[in-house]
Structure formats: C-alpha cells, structure tokens
Amino acid sequence: MDNGYLLLVEDEPTVQEYNKRILERRGYAIRQAYLLGEAWEIIKEEMPRAIVLDIHMPDGNGLDFLRELRETSTIPVLMLTAMGTPQDIVSGLKAGSSDYIAKPYDVEVFTARLETMLRQASLIPETLVAGSLKLDTVSWTAYHNGRDMLLTKKEYALLQLFVQNPDKTLSPEYLYEKVWRQNMADDENSIKIAISKLRKKLGDSEHTIATIWGMGYRLERNTNDWKWR
C-alpha cells in the first residue's frame, strides 16, 4: 500500500470504528477526527492521502470545512453523509468533493469508490513543470523562477489546466465547468477577467495565454528556447 494515511472525519463512533476496521483490513493507515477542529490539527501535522468527510459535525458544517480546504489543496475528499437528496449531492460536488455517498451505504461500494478516487488522484503528479513554471498540485501554489506567483484559487486552477494541456485550445465553457464547477451560462465575463489577471501574473515568463477567437484560450510559448517536460 502507498505511504500516507486516510483521515476519517465522523462524529458517530459506530461508523468511525466500522470504517476504520474495514479500511485497515485493506492495508490503509487510518487517523480519526470526531470534530472538524481535530481534523484541522491533524492536517497541519501532515496532509493525508484522502479524507472521508461527514457534513453534520458537532463543531460545524463539513461543506464549510471542504470549501476552506479547497482554497489550498486538491486532496481527494469523499463525502459520506446522511444527506442524500439530489440537491445535497450537487451541493457537495460544487463545494469540491471528489465523490459523494449517502448513508446508509454498502461497504463494498464505499471501498470501491474510495479506491477509485485514490487511483484517479495518483494520476496527477505532485509537481508540474513547464519551463520556468513550477506548479505544486498539492498546495495549489505556482512559482515562476522560484518566486511564488501569488495566484488566487481560480487563477491557479486555470493555469494548471493550461499546463496540463500545452498548445491545446480550451473553450470558455470547458474552463468554467472545471474551475467554477458549474455551467457557464451567460457568465463568460468571469473567464475573461480571470484570464486577464493571470496574463499579468505570468509577467516576463516565456508563456502567454493566447485568445483563439471563436474557440477559446491556449497557453503558448513566447520563445523556442525551452521545452515542456
């Protein structure tokens, strides 16, 4: 089993111990938090491989916890909660969950979807490099020649999409759905503003975000003296 641990954030002792026992039998190291505050303290020590998160916690709402976590991390999060209406699931996914399971749940489905989530997360390297750009996909931080570019959450998400798709034109609709996590509708102006700010922060790097009229945007090279890695 890969190094690292899974963090179970759940206030119900029966559910906690049941999931802990099942996952440890499959070879996972487990840490437990019965409060959101405890979860934050554990995360500060060491970031887990993934989190299984309940919504109704004694000291707060798991969705608020998730939204705050998503400001700095793309760590996989599986929501496991009694809130199972379609609206609840949509709210969880929009808040940034990687998957969502409603209680009561089948343990085989739970473990299968958790392991699928972990496999998908492992396909994204912790570091992406393109010329003088270095992106830390865990902390959502981008560097140009070693200097923190001080990107916002959405600016970073856009840049990562561009770096992962070099010389490929990405439509506004695709970018909006990936970054804003909803359909674009009539809000293309948000994309234009975010792209404009990102262009400025790229500054004197060898990159530029070109507008491909009628199609979208593409990360291009200003010079030929570097290569994608």
Q: What is the CATH number of the domain that holds 15?
A: 3.40.50.2300
Q: Tell me, what's the pLDDT at 224?
A: 46
- The alpha-carbon radius of gyration of the chain (Å, integer) is 19
**Could you say which residues of the chain have pLDDT below 50?**
1-2, 224-229
- What tokens were used for 55? 């919504």
In a domain, 175, yes or no: yes
Q: Do 96 and 134 sit in the same domain of this protein?
A: no
Q: Tell me, what's the pLDDT at 139?
A: 79
Q: Tell me, what's the pLDDT at 85?
A: 94
Count of domains in the chain? 2
Q: Tell me, what's the pLDDT at 226?
A: 40
Q: Tell me, what's the pLDDT at 2?
A: 46
Q: How far is CA 149 from CA 9, 16, 205, 206, in A?
A: 33, 40, 11, 14
Q: Tell me, what's the pLDDT at 180?
A: 82
Q: Tell me, what's the pLDDT at 121?
A: 78
Q: Is the preceding omega at residue 104 within 30 degrees of 0, hence cis? A: yes
The predicted model scores a pTM of: 0.64
**Residue range(s) defining the domain that contains residue 92:** 5-122
Residues 6+ apart with CB under 8 A from 51: 6, 7, 8, 9, 39, 69, 75, 76, 77, 78
Q: Do 73 and 134 sit in the same domain of this protein?
A: no
In a domain, 97, yes or no: yes
Q: Tell me, what's the pLDDT at 3?
A: 53
